[in-house]
A and B are shown apart, each in its own frame.
Chain A
Amino acid sequence: MSFLEVENLTLRIARGPRILRAVSLGVDQGEVRGLVGESGAGKSMIGKAILGTLPRAIQVVSGRISLDGTDLQTLPARERRRRIGAQVALIPQDPLTALNPVRRVGPQITNRLVDILGWDRSRAEARARELLDEVHIPDPDRVMRSYPHELSGGMRQRILIASAFAAEPKLIIADEPTTALDVTVQKQILRLIKEMQDRHNTALLFVTHDLGVVSKICQSLTVLYAGKVIEDTDTRSFFAAPGHPYSQALLHATPKYTDPEDSLTPVPQHVIDAVEAEVTDFDKGLGA
């Protein structure tokens, strides 16, 4: 039994198409699972569904999400919010919009501790300082007094990482945490996330479209296409021999450090047609 269990999760836009098609995946404590797929494959939606922040136009058709063996659906709304807040945290995609621009950074980290764990302010502040130190931010006191726009993108992402780990969550969802950052900063941030995850032994669901990143930090991965799980395997066997033709094609479309001259092959049309057919078959099976 993994810490996070998503079973047969199906989402759809109200009176519109399906977004997720019976997605199942699990993340164990201390495990890093990559969630890869093209833009629009529904990667971020899984994260939003777990956090309970789905846009209102999206309906949950069926499926179960459980944390630590407890089915979230069975809990009353208040208790569900509290439990998600205490056990799950998000490292968002865009550090520029994830901090409230008109509030100082310090309270935005400590609020989480005060609200969820009921700590008093001075203890929360001490902890925030400690966390900022942990994510290698020099002069934490000055940073805590700053407004977000006074800090660079990389600094802000560090703050968000610190804030995500602040309440010692059991699970962290990282939604393409390096996409909005400069390439040179990306590597540092990745290393930092991995380092923090190791130290805190958190379950980490890492949403990305970068297989290179997956090969570096994930133990297992789920490949998604049009909201359907194409492959669910451990990283080692995936990179050795991907099981699904679409995964193979995806791997061929990724640049290799070892052979930069090797030309990239886009995912061939017949492979796309094949997965599309799988998706259509799936929809037919559900009678829609």
Chain B
Amino acid sequence: MRDARSRVRRPIGLRLWLSGGWITLLIIGAVLAPLIAPHDPLYQDLFAGRMPPVWVDGADPNFLLGTDSLGRDVLSRILYGARLALTVALVAGTLTCLIGATLGLIAGYYRGWVDMVISRLVDIWMAFPPVLFAILLIAVLGTGLTSIIIAIVVIDWTRFARVVRAEAMTQGTMDYVASAQVVGRTKAGTMFAEILPNVLPTIVALLTLEMGIAVIVEAILSFVNLSISTDAPTWGGMIAEGRTSVHQAWWVLVFPLITLFLTVLSFSQLGEGLKDYFDPVLR
């Protein structure tokens, strides 16, 4: 009676390679920005303004991705912008995840009045338009890295709470949870030992998705100039500047936009890929 369903090692798919690769590249770029950035991202040279990227006629080989209207190097600014974007993604994403997932887990497993309170809070929260809410929060808190992170956490914890609650509810009805309690496990013990590991793949997927969303929110806030100080390079700020001169110098808009797009896409794909990879049950 040999069971054919023995361990199957799943290969790391193309999706994981590509998305993970891009994020890794970005993290290296951000960490090493002071070493590898070809120019000071704030240095202005009005005589070298709107230089096209190297492969276009009339380019200066010193500026790989060209310069903006003030003569600042686009590549260096993207690299430095990545520092802010990734800090926000990691810190805000993790905090949002911790708060939202904890509340969702408790609501979904304990049910009763705790669930009532948390769920109504989520419903009320979701009725606010998120971007306006963020702008409002920044207006109250003032600009700066901490404010951006707080704004994202305050807005987005509901995403985790709702999904994790639903998942914890389904797991909570399974027989193995009842068995754990018959054996004498406490309620909290069961939640951490039995439910949490089953919800973890979902949390991982949501976490990386949230990191992508955090990058977008940060870009939106810097687009409307509500991010950190105005002269620091941010992707959203670069997009806002590039928009005004898109007919003369498309590269100022396009490169940060592509970076932003790839980053958000990679985060969400990374999450899906990791979820599939780590979930022991092929659902």
A102 and B280: CB pair below 8 A?
yes
Q: How far is the CB of B207 from chain A (nearest CB, A)?
A: 17
B184 and A81: CB pair below 8 A?
yes
Beyond A97-B174, A150-B6, whether A116 also contacts B183 by CB under 8 A is yes
CB under 8 Å from chain A, chain B span 157-205: 174-176, 178-185, 194, 197-198, 200
User: In the complex the two chains form, what is the Cα distance from A92 to B175 in whole Å?
Assistant: 7
A51 and B198: CB pair below 8 A?
no
A97 and B175: CB pair below 8 A?
yes
Residue of B nearest to A112 (CB): B183
- Verify if B281 is at the interface (C-beta below 8 Å from A): yes
Return the CB mask of A129-147 against B: 1 if under 8 Å, else 0: 0000000001000000011
Contact partner, A100, options B1, B176, B200, Cβ 8 Å: B176
CB under 8 Å from chain B, chain A span 60-91: 81-82, 84-85, 88-90
Beyond A56-B112, A102-B281, A149-B281, whether A90 also contacts B198 by CB under 8 A is no
- Verify if B120 is at the interface (C-beta below 8 Å from A): no
User: In the complex the two chains form, what is the Cα distance from A188 to B174 in whole Å?
Assistant: 25
Residues on A with beta carbons closer than 8 Å to the beta carbon of B280 = 101-102, 147, 149
Return the CB mask of B271-283 against A: 1 if under 8 Å, else 0: 0000000001110
User: In the complex the two chains form, what is the Cα distance from A111 to B200 in whole Å?
Assistant: 22
A100 and B197: CB pair below 8 A?
yes
- Verify if B39 is at the interface (C-beta below 8 Å from A): no
A51 and B184: CB pair below 8 A?
no
Q: How far is the CB of A257 from chain B (nearest CB, A)?
A: 28
Residues on B with beta carbons closer than 8 Å to the beta carbon of A198 = none
Residues on B with beta carbons closer than 8 Å to the beta carbon of A90 = 178-179, 182
- Verify if A10 is at the interface (C-beta below 8 Å from B): no
Residue of B nearest to A143 (CB): B3
A111 and B5: CB pair below 8 A?
no
CB under 8 Å from chain A, chain B span 1-16: 1-3, 5-7
- Verify if A22 is at the interface (C-beta below 8 Å from B): no
Q: How far is the CB of B171 from chain A (nearest CB, A)?
A: 9
Beyond A98-B175, A99-B176, whether A149 also contacts B282 by CB under 8 A is yes
B197 and A115: CB pair below 8 A?
no
User: In the complex the two chains form, what is the Cα distance from A106 to B201 in whole Å?
Assistant: 22
Residue of A nearest to B110 (CB): A56
A85 and B175: CB pair below 8 A?
no
Residue of B nearest to A78 (CB): B184
B111 and A115: CB pair below 8 A?
no
User: In the complex the two chains form, what is the Cα distance from A149 to B198 in whole Å?
Assistant: 13
Q: How far is the CB of A39 from chain B (nearest CB, A)?
A: 18
Residue of B nearest to A147 (CB): B280
User: In the complex the two chains form, what is the Cα distance from A92 to B185 in whole Å?
Assistant: 18
Q: How far is the CB of A109 from chain B (nearest CB, A)?
A: 11
A150 and B3: CB pair below 8 A?
yes
Residues on B with beta carbons closer than 8 Å to the beta carbon of A85 = 182-184
Residue of B nearest to A111 (CB): B183
User: In the complex the two chains form, what is the Cα distance from A52 to B176 in whole Å?
Assistant: 14
Beyond A94-B175, A97-B176, A98-B175, whether A52 also contacts B5 by CB under 8 A is no
Residues on A with beta carbons closer than 8 Å to the beta carbon of B6 = 146, 150
- Verify if A103 is at the interface (C-beta below 8 Å from B): yes
Residue from B179, B184, B280 having most chain A Cβ neighbours under 10 A: B179
Q: How far is the CB of A100 from chain B (nearest CB, A)?
A: 5
B5 and A150: CB pair below 8 A?
yes
Q: How far is the CB of A250 from chain B (nearest CB, A)?
A: 27
A53 and B281: CB pair below 8 A?
no
User: In the complex the two chains form, what is the Cα distance from A237 to B200 in whole Å?
Assistant: 54
- Verify if A152 is at the interface (C-beta below 8 Å from B): yes
User: In the complex the two chains form, what is the Cα distance from A94 to B280 in whole Å?
Assistant: 19
Beyond A147-B280, A149-B281, whether A56 also contacts B111 by CB under 8 A is yes
Q: How far is the CB of A26 from chain B (nearest CB, A)?
A: 21
- Verify if A151 is at the interface (C-beta below 8 Å from B): yes
- Verify if A155 is at the interface (C-beta below 8 Å from B): yes
Residues on A with beta carbons closer than 8 Å to the beta carbon of B179 = 90, 92, 98
Residue from B1, B111, B180 having most chain A Cβ neighbours under 10 A: B1
Residues on A with beta carbons closer than 8 Å to the beta carbon of B176 = 97-100, 108
Q: How far is the CB of A248 from chain B (nearest CB, A)?
A: 34
Residues of A within 8 A of B (CB): 48, 51-53, 56, 81-82, 84-85, 88-90, 92-94, 97-103, 108, 111-112, 115-116, 138, 146-147, 149-152, 155
Top 5 nearest A-B pairs (CB, nearest first) are: A98-B175, A85-B184, A102-B197, A97-B174, A92-B175
Residues of B within 8 A of A (CB): 1-3, 5-7, 111-112, 174-176, 178-185, 194, 197-198, 200, 280-282
Known contacts A100-B198, A150-B7, A151-B3; can you find 10 more A-B pairs with CB under 8 A?
A: A81-B184, A90-B179, A97-B174, A100-B174, A102-B197, A102-B200, A102-B280, A103-B194, A146-B6, A152-B3
A-B contact pairs, 18 of them (CB 8 A): A81-B184, A82-B184, A85-B182, A85-B183, A85-B184, A100-B174, A100-B176, A100-B180, A100-B198, A101-B198, A102-B198, A102-B281, A138-B2, A146-B7, A149-B281, A149-B282, A150-B3, A155-B3
